Structure 1
């Protein structure tokens, strides 16, 4: 039953009105109070502000009625609901509602509604079909064609034979190579200067002199109509500019470009560097392989080990002359351990391994090494061989494609999963010449900070060196004693009568100790001191201490600190661990009985060694006074190391980004920027205008593009992978170079429009739990996700923070880790990181409390479930369902039915193997389904309403579009529509035909001039001291107040396929294929008390016994073969009476004694005595056991 509430005032100020239905206690008082508050607010509008109220014509909102579900969670308004759920829905059965209420009440959540917002209603584009699945099926087909059909046809065809030679005969009969494209026809002829402009299907590969520059020197394309090769004019000596891009042809032609890691090849294609998206579909065979036969990170070491053993066996078999021995080796009889089945169902991702796995082709990659050895002239001299190698890669890639595409379409059958890949593979990031300023600024700041600390560190080394002639000093100093003072002797020649002894030639720094010599390296024939804070000698020179005790290096235990034996008790309750030096080879440590040694705490726990106490994680200890030094330089060095840590780790990847500017190509579609007479050059976005005010020269604002070399499905969960942009951090005030993302800036007249999906994977996980009750918010984690309040401490992150005693932000890491299947060890390790002073035992205890409160108690009761299950926690329903998913023969995601990789299928792994990875797969792969649905929705809406926009980047749950300023609010509205379509699709496929209003819309859509996490971040860092003007962030209510956000006047010409004519066959949702949870099992998952569980078990046994009796009776009536004898009949009812008596005893015991008492023999006898003379009353069902009326 849904409560419907009518609006109390016009649409631009609407609020929930009065209820049309009565709500059962205890929710009714709470709802009534909320409704009264809303009604009171609506009727007391301040007259002074009446003129400021928007007029009806100034809003896109329409009048609507509010709706709440059976437990009080506000659902979509009546206006939105009828547009999204066309079929009549069936309310959940009463027993499910009652169970949900009892579950929520046990966790103090029932009735704690926080969403008091007004119902939202506006017109959205009409669905294509009766259901969301039909709608998305048709949108997916429309977006995938003609590519999908062409790809299938190409997978069924064979490439023409390779050309016999690549050079072409000229008019004089001499063979020669030509720069640019050459086509090799099927009849054996060649055409110089003919590009693959007319080709719709091709396999493509480029080769690069990667040690010289990132641009292609050659490329090959195999097509059904012939072969093509491209040679860089730079290689042929026709230009000194190596920045040459490969022209592929008409960007408006529907073309499939297939390659292995094709994102690498795409970055070298000329037409892709344009603000308008081409019609190319870059189809990556590496991604297809990962989705079908990839492996998780835990499997990789095992696979590599087996692959190494297999290669060794094959080599031995090839070299041995004994036929019998060769057969034994070939068939693996000498293997140390049995190869797991999954190893034969997967391979790593290189073309060599993928070709071997799918096609049993051996690929020789020796020639590839020449691209790292040859120079420009060397390539020109060996063009024929190198082109042969490039073309062979193309041919092998096509053979892999033929094998893998059909299997991918079986594993990921929904057209949305295919169609979204075109857009993910075509992302782009706009920038300008300021990119070079960024790199220069970050590098110079890094060098400045490094030089300041390094210079003084050099001084400390020289200060320590002053003791080289004073052994009584360095042998009695706890820091200097650790240095190697040997090697100071000066080797002399043997003197003669005529010539006195002299130093032997070519000695390295004679007279200096070994530790000092090792700090020097030869550069240009000269010894240069090479000393940084990252070297092991730095903590010694800085004289670091822990609680005032000197730091000591141990080859066995890493950095430790040393204290007198009598002070050991001081650290008994501390997080640091005492270690034994018995295995140490350094006798000064091994024989030291006067001192005790303790390891420095490590973020990964006591087993791990600390090798660098100057790492940024130890800055907190320095600030707390635990880690110290007599030199102020020590803290400065730590802060410098922390400030530069991001740039040190990312600088190589950042500096290697390929940035292509307008001067590199003829056109990027940005001509209007340089046409001052064109009105389009005037920006409509004030933020963009402010951003560009200081750009006075054409050089500093020259438009540029970066094409992230993305792998659209780089993990087994089908998440995209890219080394720089998908892992880029947000700007931090004390991190050099961390403003990276903000260097991606929209050109004048454009904005970056996007949003983060709020708690995407957390919501998906909670929805899985809600599905068991058929009610949004029916399970505790679902309710907390939808209705939890940060202020009231009822949201998931606040609750976890309260249990663990940590910050709410830190609690998020625990929650997502747990949802991904991480266990107690992960929680305890993380807890120690956030609370460095916590002991292992305390961390384990607190982590245990968290998992008991969330996942619950693991229970085995065969009468309830054939497998162990979780019960009593806020997330028990979620994990039981996720584990049910993971244990399927071929798990599929609940929405788009994408299958798991073969390497993680149940039949190929040991029982319970890689369970964490399989649970993680179910959630993260569903998150990828969400992204794909969102992208296909946006593609359709952008074309339907002629919005000038294209996908710029997606980072898991973030999505950003580059949008023309005049369309920025319509793009924002399109994102909101796409999001509500996607959320409704998830809800409907999970089995609930409704959606809570609180998660229907993005909490905000950002309209900004740069790429950053929040529009109000200044992005100030040590290398970027100038704040960036803020952008604009709009929630759905603010967006509805803008008439320019309206989606109207659709342009059907941009949708080439008539969607209504696309056939659709209704499919069975994946959730419906899972075994249905019986009422008694739902009860078992709710209870936490052991006595209650016993009651549920008794009830389950009775039901099972009754079902057997009924089955026997039915069998006798149906065919006479099964008969229930009188003895069986009596035995059956005796068992029922015995169960009833046991439950009556439990009931009376629970009333007679408080929880935890009445467990003794006397208590049981007393209860038995009370029940012996009690007449058996009629049974009734109350709570979770069959109980009797008092």
Structure 2
């Protein structure tokens, strides 16, 4: 706060470091000291509140300028107002995971110590006092200092030197360094036929007369597990102990990373008369915590969907459980950012070739495959690209998304090489991929004769009017000064005429990338949906700033990525606002639970679930219609008008059919999914509270789900 205040106020109101000297007083000092200095501390608190008010006064005007639409403010406030219902499973889950994790780690630690002691025994000097040669431990510190009975390298397996003498059964996971660099050496791991060797400078590898390679990380890390499974990487001794240790490292990694985050969540428990333990968590979600304004939270927003992997603690999300008689209703926005990107391409392409009242969708191949393509018949973008390049559909999907987020050919080459291609094959495939999708690059605005001939950039009437105007100016100037070249006269009419725009043609996504490219040349970049402005951290530098062009070129991909992702955030804010309106207008008793990027969840009574699900469907239609209209396209195809399905479930999970278990091990029943057709049957197409659902229709839909 001090830094922000000093940045905003550079006059007599500027705060000093001394004004924050009591910041930790209430936390660190004794209560008696607080009582003795009460008046000083209260004055500090009052000054702090005044400073907050002064900051808000300055920032509010700036906020309104950058985010002028009220839907943005509502969306941010609503996203920060998350409410996660929990029950007794929350505390039981934490205790069970802590216990299981510790037991698993202890088993791994004991297996490591057992293997290390056997290696010591096998490699101890023979009766002649000569040390035995080992292909792995030949260059570690075998010296024995003082009256110790173990070499120095063995001591480094333990967190404290004294732990070496503890009985194996009394060892805990904290006594042993389970990720020690000596672990692969103890188990005699090989890469193919080659013994692993670790260099402090180069990392892990194997000793061969070859050129120096890149640093390699932990051979027991997640990136190398597939090599262990295929036995390319394998232990050559104490195999049973190795796999006990490996299993401990694999299964406990998730909980080790997230345990403190779970513990830091503060549950509030309700007083109930029936003995049921019910509560809630209000997570401190930052509604715009990234440059692209995505929400951030150290636990709930960053959690990956690892259900069914056997890792301890991966079922954290499923602990968010609706009370009896209530359901969690929500949906994932289908292909949200791809739809926006396709819409951008259609809008820019259509404007250049059609009058405004005839702008239509699917004019570009990318949009056509996204909206009309089907995975079933192989006409969707991912399948088309995969077939054309002869790669797996999963690889094509990953490459398509990364390309849309700004990744280039080098990233695609590395991704394909990791999938098993040689570097030469990967480079060639990546080149073909970009030619097929992004298209071939041609630098725009580099020749007067070509400037206005690009129909993908300029409207026909604008081109002809501009050329006539330029010819008129040239004729006037050359009457007075006939020696001045035409090119010089035309260039002098425009600011930054020499700036080059990288345009693409011939690819499925060329129109989309041309739209994004042209947007990056704006002086002030805003989203086309809610007019939200780009952050200062990525905005162009002032005109005469040194290295201005270098900065712009370096972060251009980030700016293009921002435009797509930030427009997706606009989509989410509009969706939340529309849901609030529909729920209030139709008396739907719903409480916002959480939003994770393109996913929204609400809590409501069971009897209101179909109406809430229909409200979600309608909100999706309204929001997509609004965005299409903002871009000049007065059409919305049925394929994207409604969610593919709305989930009604008792727990928070990615899909209603994913197996989930309570903390006591009992399975959680599967939820129900509703399509728009299902909801129209149940509700009769009405959100009114007096419309009762057909029990017969509900039963049929539940059975089919």
Instruction: Using structure 1 for the length normalisation, give the TM-score.
Output: 0.49
Q: Tell me the equivalent position of 1:785.
A: 370
Q: Deviations over 1:244-291 (max 9, x none)?
A: xxxxxxxxxxxxxxxxxxxxxxxxxxxxxxxxxxxxxxxxxxxxxxxx
Aligned-residue offset at 1:749: 1.6
Between 730-739 and 762-771, report the one with greater CA deviation.
730-739
After TM superposition, list the pairs within 5 Å mapping 1:171-320 onto structure 2. none
Q: Deviations over 1:783-824 (max 9, x none)?
A: 111111112222122234445655434433322211111212
8 Å contact from structure 1 (residues 468, 485) kept in 2: no
Q: Tell me the equivalent position of 2:495.
A: none
Match of 2:561 among 913, 920, 936: 920
**SS of the counterpart of 1:465?**
helix
Change (3 A) 1:805 1:732: farther
Change (3 A) 1:473 1:997: farther
Q: Deviations over 1:196-222 (max 9, x none)?
A: xxxxxxxxxxxxxxxxxxxxxxxxxxx
Q: Within 2, Cα distance between the matches of 1:649 and 1:805?
A: 38
Between 750-759 and 821-830, report the one with greater CA deviation.
821-830
Change (3 A) 1:545 1:986: same
After TM superposition, list the pairs within 5 Å mapping 1:417-432 onto structure 2. 417-432=72-87
Q: Deviations over 1:89-109 (max 9, x none)?
A: xxxxxxxxxxxxxxxxxxxxx
**SS of the counterpart of 1:550?**
strand
Q: Within 2, Cα distance between the matches of 1:485 and 1:803?
A: 58
Q: Within 2, Cα distance between the matches of 1:991 and 1:860?
A: 27
Aligned-residue offset at 1:963: 0.9
Aligned-residue offset at 1:983: 0.5
Match of 2:411 among 826, 836, 839: 826
Change (3 A) 1:804 1:883: same
What residue ranges of structure 1 are gaps of 5+ in the alignment?
1-350, 492-509, 566-577, 581-598, 600-606, 664-670, 676-697, 1051-1190
Q: Within 2, Cα distance between the matches of 1:791 and 1:518?
A: 57
**SS of the counterpart of 2:537?**
helix
Match of 1:868 among 474, 499, 502: 502
Aligned-residue offset at 1:389: 4.3
Match of 2:232 among 613, 626, 629: 626
After TM superposition, list the pairs within 5 Å mapping 1:37-52 onto structure 2. none
8 Å contact from structure 1 (residues 533, 614) kept in 2: no
Q: Within 2, Cα distance between the matches of 1:384 and 1:473?
A: 77
Change (3 A) 1:965 1:858: same
**SS of the counterpart of 2:403?**
helix
Structure 2 residue 535 is the aligned partner of structure 1 residue 901: yes
**SS of the counterpart of 1:621?**
helix
Q: Within 1, Cα distance between the matches of 2:235 and 2:580?
A: 59
Q: Tell me the equivalent position of 1:515.
A: 153
Q: Within 2, Cα distance between the matches of 1:453 and 1:790?
A: 45
Q: Tell me the equivalent position of 1:856.
A: 439
Q: Tell me the equivalent position of 2:262.
A: 654
8 Å contact from structure 1 (residues 857, 871) kept in 2: yes
Change (3 A) 1:639 1:385: farther
Match of 2:290 among 712, 715, 718: 715
After TM superposition, list the pairs within 5 Å mapping 1:559-570 onto structure 2. 559-563=204-208, 565=209
Higher relative contact order (CA 8 A, sep 6+): 2
Change (3 A) 1:366 1:525: farther
Between 382-391 and 741-750, report the one with greater CA deviation.
382-391
**SS of the counterpart of 2:428?**
helix
Q: Deviations over 1:414-472 (max 9, x none)?
A: 11111222211211100012101111122222222222221110111222333354598
Q: Within 2, Cα distance between the matches of 1:377 and 1:619?
A: 57
Q: Within 2, Cα distance between the matches of 1:925 and 1:512?
A: 59
**SS of the counterpart of 1:960?**
strand
Q: Deviations over 1:646-677 (max 9, x none)?
A: 112211111211111114xxxxxxx6xx47xx
Q: Within 2, Cα distance between the matches of 1:965 and 1:366?
A: 53
Q: Tell me the equivalent position of 1:958.
A: 599
Q: Tell me the equivalent position of 2:334.
A: 758
Aligned-residue offset at 1:386: 4.8
Q: Tell me the equivalent position of 1:704.
A: 279
Q: Tell me the equivalent position of 1:413.
A: 68
Structure 2 residue 534 is the aligned partner of structure 1 residue 884: no
Q: Tell me the equivalent position of 1:436.
A: 91
Structure 2 residue 652 is the aligned partner of structure 1 residue 1011: yes
Change (3 A) 1:711 1:389: farther
Q: Within 2, Cα distance between the matches of 1:717 and 1:741?
A: 25
Aligned-residue offset at 1:390: 4.0
8 Å contact from structure 2 (residues 157, 177) kept in 1: no
Q: Deviations over 1:463-514 (max 9, x none)?
A: 233335459875620112132112x1327xxxxxxxxxxxxxxxxxx34321
Q: Within 1, Cα distance between the matches of 2:617 and 2:131?
A: 70
The number of residues matched between the two structures is 607
8 Å contact from structure 2 (residues 157, 180) kept in 1: no
Match of 1:768 among 321, 325, 344: 344
After TM superposition, list the pairs within 5 Å mapping 1:1108-1119 onto structure 2. none
Q: Tell me the equivalent position of 2:146.
A: 490
Change (3 A) 1:907 1:781: same
Q: Tell me the equivalent position of 2:465.
A: none
What residue ranges of structure 2 are gaps of 5+ in the alignment?
351-358, 455-499, 543-547, 691-705
**SS of the counterpart of 1:480?**
coil
